[in-house]
A and B are shown apart, each in its own frame.
Chain A
Amino acid sequence: MRIFLMQRWSAVALLVFLTLHMVVVHYPPGHIDVDRVLERLDDPLWKAIDIAFLVAVLTHALTGAYMVITDVQRFSVYKRALAWAGAVAGVLLFVYGTRTILTF
């Protein structure tokens, strides 16, 4: 249940965050202006939003990958190991991503 709810709530969060991300970062389409990104991320609120976005996207990606793998009967015997591996990967990626956001 936890996995399913994590995935559903992160999905709803992503609908909001990703729309925002596309509009703010990628609109109008074309060259991504680094200065614009730097300027935006000067604001701590944007940093917080991006970190929340990172949490949502990692949750969604890792629970999704976990679902895809454990759907296959052959792999489902490893589901405990997979869940732990996913949790560790999530923490590592969160640390890496947060560092990136804070550096900007």
Chain B
Amino acid sequence: MATNGSVPTVTIRIQRFNPDADKKPYLQAFQVKAPPGKTILDALHEIKEEQDGSLTFRRSCRHAICGSCAMNVNGRHMLVCDAPLREHVDRHGVLTLRPLAYLPIIKDLVVDRTSFWEQYQRVKPWLIPPENIPEKEFRMSAEEVAALRDAEHCIMCGACYSSCQVIALTKQYIGPHALLKAFLRVLDPRDSAPAERLADLDRGDGVYRCHTIFNCIDACPKGLNPTEAIETLRKLVIKRGAFEAARAERQRRLDQPIEVVGEAPALSGGE
């Protein structure tokens, strides 16, 4: 890092690509100041406003919850709004920014996520409620919530999808993001169609295309665990009949206070 007074200057190399002018992507270096507290996204804004207005990237909320600004920083996927600039420059004071891998580039850091959303639709990401919807509220036990392993925290940023080596080979694979969502719905005691969901995943391009590479865990900015979710789904797919029966039994008590419900059904395996 070159130091100018007390605020160091760092180099950000950004992968540029303009489909109208360039044959293939190239890296372009920009110099920015790196005061403490400045995020990589702040630096991108600064470059766009002061150095090159044509720089293109996605961002929205700047609070690590919209999932727009997932990018590849020095080979790792992360949300750049959540990433302090100074922490991610290497020892030469350089930081390399690329778009999410394995996806078609639209321009600069913006990728085409069509396949990502198409696969997401395949798992019917919405809740299929039971017929006897309780008047007041659905009750879940603490164990049932814990079994979801925070899967509901997913912000659909695409980091896992674009780090998955299987996705690199084939876009027909349903992808870790969609499988994590399927896991969330299947294990949700309010959902009434787990067997149907599991049947949809029981195919070569479903849970069995995962090769347990763990990249999705490494990439997830929310610390979620799609690999473990896929392993759980693989076990449930085989015994989906018994699992659905246990779910139907459980749903007869959805509106009762948790104390009465008592022991939670064994979510890791059904009966």
Binding site for B on A (CB under 8 A): 1, 3-4, 70-73, 76, 79
Whether the pair B202, A1 counts as a contact (CB closer than 8 A) is yes
Q: Which residues does chain B contribute within 8 Å of A79, judged by CB atoms?
A: 204
Residue of A nearest to B169 (CB): A71
Whether the pair A1, B203 counts as a contact (CB closer than 8 A) is yes
Whether the pair A3, B209 counts as a contact (CB closer than 8 A) is no
Whether the pair B208, A76 counts as a contact (CB closer than 8 A) is no
Binary flags per residue of B212-242, CB closer than 8 Å to A gives 1, else 0: 0000000000000000000000100110000
Q: Which residues does chain A contribute within 8 Å of B211, judged by CB atoms?
A: 71
Q: Which residues does chain A contribute within 8 Å of B113, judged by CB atoms?
A: none
A71 touches which of B170, B203, B234, B237 (Cβ 8 Å): B170
Binary flags per residue of B16-49, CB closer than 8 Å to A gives 1, else 0: 0000000000000000000000000000000000
B172 touches which of A1, A3, A76 (Cβ 8 Å): A76
How many A-B pairs have beta carbons closer than 8 Å: the answer is 24
CB distance from A49 to the nearest CB of B (A): 29
Chain A contact residues: helix, strand, loop or mixed = helix
B171 interface hit (Cβ, 8 Å): yes
B267 interface hit (Cβ, 8 Å): no
Q: Which residues does chain A contribute within 8 Å of B170, judged by CB atoms?
A: 71-73, 76
Q: Which residues does chain A contribute within 8 Å of B172, judged by CB atoms?
A: 73, 76
B166 interface hit (Cβ, 8 Å): yes
Q: Which residues does chain B contribute within 8 Å of A76, judged by CB atoms?
A: 170, 172
24 example contacts (A-B, Cβ-Cβ < 8 A) are as follows A1-B202, A1-B203, A1-B208, A1-B237, A1-B238, A3-B204, A3-B208, A4-B208, A4-B234, A70-B204, A71-B166, A71-B169, A71-B170, A71-B209, A71-B211, A72-B169, A72-B170, A73-B169, A73-B170, A73-B171, A73-B172, A76-B170, A76-B172, A79-B204
Residue of B nearest to A79 (CB): B204
Q: Which residues does chain B contribute within 8 Å of A71, judged by CB atoms?
A: 166, 169-170, 209, 211
